Structure 1
Amino acid sequence: MTAHDELRLLPWSGPDGKPCFLSTDESGGHLSRLADNTEAAQLGLAGELLKHALEVISDEETEPDELRLLATKLTRALRDALRVAESRGHRLPTPDRSAGGGNDEGLRLPAASFG
């Protein structure tokens, strides 16, 4: 099965909180572009939130309520980032194992590479 034959996990949930999927062969369609833009926005906001989190946790005078709010926002951002990673991972092409002589061991580096 190729990547375009599968359902795409969308970067938002349905009204009942369950995952939403898109079934299409068209990667440049309206919903695909909307999902791509939403993923980019979610990852961008997560990056900004991470910077803010580093500032908040380095401030010794941060109130517990502020830390709790930060933890809530970080949890949401992590959930979104994991959904993006899962969706993108499912869309990666499956390696052709037969082309490499059936070697499933992956990339091998010499021991000298690790110092």
Structure 2
Amino acid sequence: MTSIDKFRNTTNGNAESYAVYLGNSNERYFDDNIGVKIDMTDMYEMTSDTKYLDRAELVWDFILTGMNDKMGGGVHWKEFGNSKNMCSTAPAALSRKALFSNE
């Protein structure tokens, strides 16, 4: 886990997530982080190691910052972006179900 954790950051004091490059001043994409969240959830289900669940929840907190009712709802494609796409909205809906399947 140490390799991917090198990409964790907070940009402008926002929720922590995984960035494209190392450092705090680069872009963070919601669709990329949703993929990380899905993988972390799968790893948790395979191993029962809570570090994977913790990382999935960390990413989910970031994804929530990209959701709003503008343009009919959904998840933005990238942080500080103006577009919403299927590549971020649909997997976010599915990954929420996977993370919170015990509700």
Q: TM-score, normalised by structure 1?
A: 0.35
Larger helix share, 1 or 2: 1
Larger strand share, 1 or 2: 1
Q: TM-score, normalised by structure 2?
A: 0.39
Which structure has the greater CA radius of gyration? 1
Query: Which structure has more RCO (C-alpha within 8 Å, separation ≥ 6)?
Result: 1
